[in-house]
Structure 1
Amino acid sequence: RSGVAGRFHWTKIPAGIYELRVSKGALVAPALDGLILDPGAKRAFGVQLVPGWTVAGQVIDVQTGRPIADAEITGAAGGLGLHTRRARSDGRGRFELVGVMGDEQSLYFEADGYVAAGPLRQGSSDPAMTVRLGRASTIEGRVVDARGMPVEAALVRAFGEGQLRGAVLGTTESLGVTSGPVPPISAGTSGALAYVSQVETGRNGRFRLTNLRPGAYRIVASHDDFARAESERLQLRAGAARSDIELVVSPGAELAGRVVDERGDGLEGIPVELRDGPEHLPRMSVTATDGSFSFGGVRGEVSVTALPYDLPPVREDVAMGEDALVTVEIALSSTLYTLRGRVVDERGFGVGGALISISSKSARTPVRRSAKSDADGTFSVPALPEPPFALEAAHPAFSSTKIDSIDRIEDIRVVMSAGVTLLGEVLDDWTNEGLPGVRVRLEGPAQLESKTRGDGTFVIRQAATGIYEVSFSHPDFETQTQRVVLEPPRYVDQPQELDRVRLQPGGSIEGQVLDAYSEPVPTAEVTWGDPPLWHRASRSDTDGRFVLRGVPAGSVWIWARHPAAGEDSSDSPIVVRPIENSTGTFIRLPESVTE
């Protein structure tokens, strides 16, 4: 803490890169990022404290809407994310974090009996937030072998399927289902799995997974002596408990191998990674003195990768088949290559400070290396396997450049075009005021996006020249799209300004998704349109309720779909008026959500 005169003094600080933050109550100072302290160095600072902004909101139960008292709220800011502020919600679930500096905070929420949530983003110009926490769910069961005997020390992992929401961010008036920030655990809608939690079985083979969000799960059990076992799809409601899960593991084959050098001699202490699918976590081993390694309980098609510390990794794909033992040899090459070249602008002048990233195009040697170009644009990237390579170049003043395939290692010429800075402003067409929080997305030679600030203005930097489709979307307004041509600037810092954009306010629709037996359907996708605009979909909450915002005025059909309950539309079109809320919409899906 500073003394009476406001001075502070630190001694014996290890050399390194630091972030310095100073605060007292609601008074804060801008962070000093990237502070480099060399050995023996002395640094002095003058810091002025100014009033910060306040993050305020309320934490409530997503099902009952009742406030949650004594929830812990943690706000993190800064490039390193180490500066935190904490608060607890009062009896009405309300909280405040004062003295916040910067444009945005990352917020984390914890409460007894509820699923932890975060990070949720809150900007200085955003209104007070309402965070809805869902009751935590539980899955219990046991792992047994083919004879029904319990398997001890099996690792049981839960993988979330679809979009599992732990908290929903919305206004006080909303039902809490938005198309806003992506929740902490999300696997999208493609059926991919996202790792959630893990436990180890006891002597009786039993396991218990807690603090789970409502939604769909698959449970996977693994053991060094057995092949993986996977449950059927499990649907959890908020606060529910499943205790009837039994996973039967079967014996798998042994995958044994050696990591050798170019002469065939075994290499000791080389990490080896085994993967049996992108949705599963890898298994690791380390080679013995003779270079050998072994994995038990392996089935199907797998990849095994040697990860030496000073050489590029080498990967081999293996099909296990029906054999009890499968062997593989991974040969490491000590022959390394250095890729050399020069980065230039469109006039042929060298570009210094460009970040060059090189990736091997061979699946057998998955390696990526980076370097920066010198003042004259020259660069060299050492310790590479043999070609071909892919190259990416990035620089703050230029648009990014890619070369998909490079077959040589000398005289690589990388041409970077001056990046275009695009400026613009988005207005609410009804109030004629700047509209904050509009998502501005460019799609064309590159894909870039930004958000409008509190006054409705936005900036997109380092865009490559060319023809783009630019879209403007906001949860409460109709989306607008237009074509724009980004032309080469006459000088590096010359911006290009877009004509003022006006967005029409949309209406909102509230309703509920039910299955064939009138049971609420959680995590269903809900959208509008004919055909349905699934890219604008929201998710139903644990009671099947949904809110669609920014729906264009007029008569629209409402659609819902769910992996188990199926897909269907509303019985009739819904009339939508700007800024008005249409309620009482029900969508009945053709199947049961629990089957």
Structure 2
Amino acid sequence: MRANRLVLLSLGLVICLASYSTAREAREITCIGNVVDEQGRPIAGVKVTFYKRVYGETTYSSNIRPAGEAETRTDGGFSFSTNAESVSYRHGYIVAERKGLALGLACWDMWQDQDMEIKLGEPKELTGIVVDEDGKPIVGAEVGISRLWVGSKLRFGEDLLQALFKARTDSSGKFIFTGLPEDAAAEYLVKKAGLATIDTYRYIPPIGSRMHFVAGQADTHLVVPPEARIEGVVVKKDTGEPLAGVKLTAMQDWGQAVVGRELPITTREDGTFGIDALAAGKYRLQPARYREGPADWATEPVEVITKAGKTSTGVKVELSKGGLLQVAITEAVSKEPVERANVVIQHQQSGRYILGCSEKNGIARIRLMPGGYQVLRVVKQGYTSDKRRETATIEYGKTTYIRWRLVGQLNITGVVRDEKGKPIEGAELRVCPIDGRSSTSDAEGKFEVKILSAERKHNIHVSAEGYGQGHIEINTNYLVDNHFDVGVLTLPPANLSLSGIVLDVNDAPVAGALVSCQGPSQPYRTTRTDTEGKFVLEKICNGKVRISARTSSKQPLYGYIESSAGASDVKLAVSVRGLNAMFSVPEQSSSSDDLPWPEAYNELAICNNIPIVLTTPSLVGRPLPELRPLKIEFSTDTSNKMILVCFWDMEQRPSRHCIRQLAENSEDLAEKGVIVVSVQSSGVDEKWLKEWVKEYKIPFPSGTTTAEAGGDYFTWGVKSLPWLILTDRQHVVQAEGFSLAELGEKLKGIN
């Protein structure tokens, strides 16, 4: 049950598979890209293939087919066009191939135009050996890659990878894959007649998933046991009559459909069925769900435990008509029905998830067994959803009705001008949170940005070459007909420079330091110091500038200072890098007495009258600092409990994701004896923060940093956000600064 509650983390892929193409509106969309080498130079003559995902009749079924092929031009460019079909969830992949270089991979969401750059670098290999349980090589086994992550963002599934990576083991059981990107990580899929089909991917509650094999790895031994089989019969529950032609899906215990074989399987004329090539483990059998209309039958999933080399016989799946849940989905403004919207439902007792899809009339009909359910979300590409959860009780032979609203794509328009009122062409506009596309202003300075986020507040960021930056916050609650005009955004000219020198604590020039600047309306600029430690920052705006410098040596140096655009004698001191201090240097200060010193900083030094953080103390091995100053009070006894503190910023997407994941896993963490608390780390509106916490049902205590945020950061050793701190049961810190993916291992180390 615990694993079932966590399967929602992987539903993004399943939702992608929950609908297929039916055109409501035909318009052409284009993917434009460039293929470059590691130095950013264009590569001509690269074969580029556009693949489309094609969905099957039932959920969990899809495949990939080529939809276009091109060769890059002398500038490395390529393009593909296709029809946008607004009623379907579509997904495509772009694959770039050049002999002697690694594969280049990219995703195209296929609901709007997209620009991309694909970088081809040095190819890496993945090699290994496939053996049986006695350690003997298995000859002629089919080996594929079931999942591939490239970097931290690009993730690819079995359907695409089957077309790209195939190998057979040789006489020694060895296989090899070539052309992988340097930052790739993968999982394997192994097939051999008479043996279990092995997928090395695993979903690990409460952390999620991670890839086990990285590009360049050559020491992999894959052990393939004898196959397990399941044999059974499907019957009507009330009469015992065998049912022919019923499609069944086999789900692994942690919620993933069995991969590497044709699914679903279909019962024979006498109602019997057989599933082979299984690994030992726990499986759930259930009727397949169709992409159109309700399933013919319903049942509680039948659990089967298999053993290697054995056949589980006598399995009986009893089906009934159950009851219906009918969800009517409309667009909030037009009131029109929304076709191909995906409905995510959770069975309240078991925690398992069920998917449905709306038809042309906007109604999703889902056949369910009697009991309590909760509609968690309704999603569709190009729309945002009501943020609510609706409960429903299903009874035999009855239909339960629910209404749901989706909000169509939000359009933000405006004009970008300079301080003299002249339109600025080519200004780039981006949205944060980044759920929409960027946009560029035209010759009249006009722009349109499309937003697909359920967030209430967005920041529009605008920048242009030769100008500063502009920002505006909008609240989507105030949109009229899904449209909001921000009016005129004015950018100041960036026609000044700033120069100076970077020194270490001994007043020696620091060569090769990376120097950057930022500030209100300032463009982000970077440069490096020369051999004398000198630097010049060009094209900045009039006004205050925050200048920072850092080195990339084994013991990095860091420092920053505030100055004004046009200054030519800035002296910036750097020291062993600590936490970014939350204060600046007054322009005319001549003694250390004039400098602002937050009380919480007790490890500071003076260098050229500049306060510098020398070290950020580690909390590991120390008692957890007092939580009351952060406005955290516990409603439960914390004695003999581990405490997990998460510093986060609700205006930062990774932070919000981290908090949501902790909230979803809170029950499992509580069972392990872990109390979770969160600390909001930036000055946001307290009412907005409370609304967000309430809306996402964050179950654990939430606090905020004090006005002197830098002091809190230093006290707690926070170096970035989100920042996790974990104690043992005596509240002594055992780990800090780790990722959510490492939490499971940290807990094992403590227990």
Q: Identify the TM-score tier after normalising by the shorter chain.
A: 0.5 to 0.7
Q: Give 2:125's aligned residue.
A: 138
- Between the aligned partners of 2:271 and 2:415, the Cα distance in structure 1 is 66
| Deviations, residues 511-568 of structure 1 (Å, cap 9, x unaligned) | xxxxxxxxxxxxxxx9999xxxxxx9xxxxxxxxxxxxx99951155799xxxxxxx8
1:423 CA displacement = 2.5
Do structure 1's residue 199 and structure 2's residue 174 form an aligned pair?
Answer: no
Match of 2:556 among 564, 570, 578: 570
Contact 1:354 1:393 in 2 (8 A): no
Instruction: Please identify which structure carries the higher strand content.
Output: 1
Letter in 2 for 1:440: V
- Between the aligned partners of 2:155 and 2:418, the Cα distance in structure 1 is 31
Q: 1:305 to 1:135 in 2, by over 3 A?
A: farther
Q: Give 1:547's aligned residue.
A: none
Q: Give 2:12's aligned residue.
A: none
Match of 1:554 among 547, 552, 557: 547
Superposed, which structure 2 residues align to 1:261-280 within 5 Å? 261-262=236-237, 263-269=239-245, 270-275=247-252
Q: 1:258 to 1:449 in 2, by over 3 A?
A: same
Q: Give 1:367's aligned residue.
A: 355
1:209 CA displacement = 1.9
Q: Give 2:335's aligned residue.
A: 351
Q: Give 2:429's aligned residue.
A: 438
Do structure 1's residue 236 and structure 2's residue 212 form an aligned pair?
Answer: no
1:218 CA displacement = 4.5
1:370 CA displacement = 0.5
Q: Give 2:195's aligned residue.
A: 225
1:62 CA displacement = 2.5
Instruction: Please identify which structure carries the higher helix content.
Output: 2
| Deviations, residues 175-229 of structure 1 (Å, cap 9, x unaligned) | xxxxxxx657599xxxxxx987343435653323233222353453534524748
Letter in 2 for 1:211: G
- Between the aligned partners of 1:559 and 1:261, the Cα distance in structure 2 is 69
- Between the aligned partners of 1:197 and 1:576, the Cα distance in structure 2 is 53
Q: 1:297 to 1:569 in 2, by over 3 A?
A: farther
- Determine what percentage of the aligned residue pairs are the same residue: 15
1:440 CA displacement = 0.9
- Between the aligned partners of 1:322 and 1:156, the Cα distance in structure 2 is 20
Q: Give 1:331's aligned residue.
A: 318
- Between the aligned partners of 1:106 and 1:161, the Cα distance in structure 2 is 13
Q: 1:56 to 1:399 in 2, by over 3 A?
A: closer
Letter in 1 for 2:279: V
Letter in 2 for 1:275: Q
Do structure 1's residue 468 and structure 2's residue 468 form an aligned pair?
Answer: no
Q: Give 1:404's aligned residue.
A: 389
| Deviations, residues 329-364 of structure 1 (Å, cap 9, x unaligned) | 433223452627696979xxx933344654442366
Q: 1:360 to 1:163 in 2, by over 3 A?
A: same
Q: Give 2:38's aligned residue.
A: 62
- Between the aligned partners of 1:257 and 1:203, the Cα distance in structure 2 is 37
1:368 CA displacement = 0.6
Q: Give 1:500's aligned residue.
A: 489
1:419 CA displacement = 8.3
Q: 1:82 to 1:295 in 2, by over 3 A?
A: closer
- Between the aligned partners of 1:557 and 1:202, the Cα distance in structure 2 is 51
Superposition TM-score, scaled by structure 1 size: 0.54
In the alignment of these two chains, the number of paired residues is 445
Q: 1:216 to 1:18 in 2, by over 3 A?
A: closer
Superposed, which structure 2 residues align to 1:458-537 within 5 Å? 458-460=448-450, 467-470=456-459, 472=461, 483-488=473-478, 492=481, 495-497=484-486, 500=489, 502=491
Letter in 2 for 1:259: V
Q: Give 1:388's aligned residue.
A: 373
- Between the aligned partners of 2:149 and 2:489, the Cα distance in structure 1 is 38
Aligned-residue Cα RMSD (Å) equals 6.2
Q: 1:486 to 1:527 in 2, by over 3 A?
A: farther
| Deviations, residues 130-164 of structure 1 (Å, cap 9, x unaligned) | 75312333333321113232224534233666534
SS at match of 1:366: strand
Letter in 2 for 1:206: K
Q: 1:184 to 1:501 in 2, by over 3 A?
A: farther
